[in-house]
Amino acid sequence: MGMTITEKIIAAHAGRAAVEPGEFVTVRVDLAMGNDLSTAGAIGVLRQMEARRVFDPDKVVIVFDHVVPAKDIAAATMLTAVRAWVREQGLPHVYDEGRQGIAHVVLPEQGLVLPGDLVIGGDSHTCTYGAVGAFSAGVGHTDLAGVLALGETWLKVPASQRFVYHGAPGRFVMGKDLILATLGRITIDGARYEAMEFVGPAIERLGMSDRLTMCNMAIEAGAKSGIIAPDDVTLEYVRPRARRAFTPYRSDPDARYAAEHEFDVGRLRPMVAKPFSPDNVVPVDEVAGTRLDQVFIGSCTNAKLEDLRVAAAILKGRKAHPYTRLIVIPASTWIWQQALREGLLEIFSEAGAAVSTPTCGACFGGHMGILGRNEVCLSTSNRNFVGRMGDPTAQSYLANPAVAAASAIKGAIAAPDEVV
């Protein structure tokens, strides 16, 4: 019996010829990632463990993204402690203010995560890296500390579900719409502790930005990971960035899956997730006209360069509605710089947007876009649970960057073809 791509990667890192779903194995990691918040928590556990050094400084990446720039004195104090630990450890892969971004965009962008890797990160959206053909999963502070100290962790081998996408996406239909439609079908616990493997002709047509978006939101189905087998698109993206050798894997034709789902992408409209869950999904037309106080274009899900280009093409020469705030936060410093060179930031500014340095702040309700009582927001981020972006009475809708841009212009949820 063959193995899935996920099983092959885990087997290789466990020193095994084969593994089966449900088995518990110990695996070595190629990369451990901590952000500012998760690293702060892990440092406390490392001290309790009396672990003085990380297992391999070159395999540890620390990204300051959640509360930077420091939002208050408590955040600044925490950041100071993390920066002191980073210097003490002599870590070479550190991304701080002005030369950083959101971890799940920075690591692929900088060639730190590669096909065939096994990556453990201190954030739930670590599953994003499956877009380059890696097995990647998020853990809590205690497990992250163990990985930082030992360079290994234990895993239960997840079963895999196979998601097959047929057809070609229509205009303004993006990877965000494919994953929202998927969540709408299987629900937020439809792949609990399983690997979501995305395949099919429509996936082959997607660029890396959309693939990263889809794998990013695998966690919203309760999945352990999301993954797309490397192909020419992947290798074209990875090879100029790679800092070391890598080994791509693909699933065997006779691999076993817990379930298989098929989608006709050609019939899909841009999708919107209504409050208060990413699986509460409808076509944009069903919620068009919903008044908005704020539109947020940002987060690790949809603030890559390709996303900004889509939004800017719609906003060019137009203005955001006077009663709707528009916030645009590029996902990394390098994306911000390229967006500046291409004139995208000027388009956003002239449209009336507030354009910020890279940060996760607005996405998780930390800073830079918190919602007030009873406010309504349309966001390009990944989850919209109660209180996610601010006050518990506020409502957040999720959509792709094209829908976000059109909605900012209208001051209410709108399909892009209403504007363009």
pLDDT digits (tens, 9 = 90+) for 338-380: 999 999 999 999 999 999 999 999 999 999 999 999 999 999 9
For 381, how many CA atoms within 13 A lie in the half-sphere containing its CB?
29
Mean pLDDT of the chain: 97
Residue 243 predicted with pLDDT over 90: no
**Cα–Cα distances in Å, from 329 out to 190, 299, 326, 355, 382?**
31, 7, 10, 6, 15
pLDDT digits (tens, 9 = 90+) for 100-152: 999 999 999 999 999 999 999 999 999 999 999 999 999 999 999 999 999 99
pLDDT digits (tens, 9 = 90+) for 28-71: 999 999 999 999 999 999 999 999 999 999 999 999 999 999 99
For the chain, list the domains and their CATH numbers.
Answer: 5-262 (3.30.499.10), 271-418 (3.30.499.10)
DSSP state of 187: -
DSSP state of 390: B
Query: Is the Cβ–Cβ distance between 196 and 220 less than 8 Å?
Result: no
pLDDT range class, residue 222, cuts 50, 70, 90 = very high
pLDDT score of 9 = 98
What gap in Å lies between CA 267 and CA 274, rounded to an integer?
Answer: 20
Helix, strand, coil fractions of the chain, as percent rounded to 5: 35, 20, 45
User: What number is the average pLDDT over the span 173-197?
Assistant: 98
DSSP, collapsed to helix, strand or coil, labels residue 326 as strand
pLDDT score of 2 = 96
pLDDT score of 104 = 98
Name residue 171's amino acid: R
